[in-house]
Amino acid sequence: MEGKVGFIGFGSMGGVLLRALLRYGGLIEQEVVVATRSRDKLSGFISRYPGMKMERSNVKLAESCSTVFICVRTADVKGVIEEIKPALVDGAHIIYISGGLTMGTVARIYDGKISKVMPSVICGTGSCVTLVCHNDKVTSEEKERVAEWLSKIGKVKEIDEDQFGVGADLTSCSPAFMAAVMKYFAAEAAGRDAIALEEAEEMVRTTMMGTLLLLIKRQIPFDRLIDRVATEGGITEAGMKVLDEKLPGVFGEMFDATAAKHDAIKAEMVELYRA
């Protein structure tokens, strides 16, 4: 069933996702409905897409949309679904973006079509990976439609839900992790020589961009690029020995920490949805 596509929540991630879908043609403004309690903060967005419909009520949005994206905090998803459930059209498809909330948990309060999507803050660049999974009530046609929308803003990976933890670390969380690596790399360099921090950060950003372009455009594996730069007996090789020793442990601890947080959120949501 085709129809209007609703977005409840226009915060950091929801706003980035909707802006990207409209900018790159995943959705057209005439098919989008947005629910927000404050039109003032969206004035510029509304004026750019005058064909988009705005609703102050989540319930009014639910009455007219066959697909509803719920882009609110994880703890607020339950309340939104309970609010709109009586107003949802027959066969409504709910899509939410909370990685730590399982579809099985959501199914305790909504037994219809459910999909989970994990976007990234970089989807506004048109170069990202968006993770998707669906419950068994979502039809093949609906899966294809969602994939078509999201493919306009980057690559779409349909994965099993139990892969969402590590998958989110590699995609949605990764921009922060990679920015942290660049931040500390630049800061340490600036602290050791007469290079301003701003200059060091610019060098790192530009070099990182060039490195990514080389890896992507020429399809060069990571190890091959390392071998090309870290020649035997050279300066880069000396630095690589340190990274080879230290980085696996650092990233191991990082994945352990995020896995523990994923598990904690899942357990918290199970208790919340029992209430």
Tens of pLDDT along 136-193? 999 999 999 999 999 999 999 999 999 999 999 999 999 999 999 999 999 999 988 8
pLDDT at 275 over 80: no
Do 253 and 188 belong to one domain? yes
pLDDT at 1 over 50: no
Q: Is 53 helix (H, G, I), strand (E, B) or coil?
A: strand
CATH at 37: 3.40.50.720
Do 109 and 184 belong to one domain? no
Q: Does 274 map to a domain?
A: no
Q: What is the mean pLDDT of the chain?
A: 94
Q: Does 214 map to a domain?
A: yes
Q: Does 275 map to a domain?
A: no
Are the C-beta atoms of residues 109 and 82 closer than 8 Å to each other? yes
Do 14 and 141 belong to one domain? yes
Do 40 and 99 belong to one domain? yes
CATH at 202: 1.10.3730
Domain of 235?
A: 174-269
Do 199 and 261 belong to one domain? yes
Residue 108 phi/psi, 5-degree rounding, is -65, -25
Q: Does 208 map to a domain?
A: yes
pLDDT over 90, % of the chain: 87
- When divided into structural domains, the chain yields a total of 2
Q: Does 165 map to a domain?
A: no
Do 129 and 49 belong to one domain? yes
Kindly report, residue by residue over 63-108, the tens digit of the pLDDT: 999 999 999 999 999 999 999 999 999 999 999 999 899 999 999 9
Do 19 and 113 belong to one domain? yes
Q: Across residues 10-36, what is the average pLDDT?
A: 93
Q: Does 164 map to a domain?
A: no
- In this prediction the pTM is 0.92
Do 57 and 152 belong to one domain? yes
Q: Is 115 helix (H, G, I), strand (E, B) or coil?
A: strand
Distance between CA 26 and CA 30 in Å, rounded? Answer: 12
Q: Across residues 190-203, what is the average pLDDT?
A: 92
Do 11 and 140 belong to one domain? yes
Kindly report, residue by residue over 45-67, the tens digit of the pLDDT: 888 999 999 998 999 999 999 99
pLDDT at 134 over 50: yes
Sorting pLDDT into bands at 50, 70 and 90, what band is 42?
A: confident
Q: Does 30 map to a domain?
A: yes
Domain boundary among 159, 184, 201: 159
Determine how many CB atoms are found less than 10 A away from the CB of residue 50.
8
pLDDT on residue 2: 63
Do 116 and 190 belong to one domain? no
Do 146 and 215 belong to one domain? no
DSSP string, 162-183: GGHHHHHHHTTSHHHHHHHHHH
Q: Tokens standing for 163?
A: 């892969």
Do 83 and 143 belong to one domain? yes
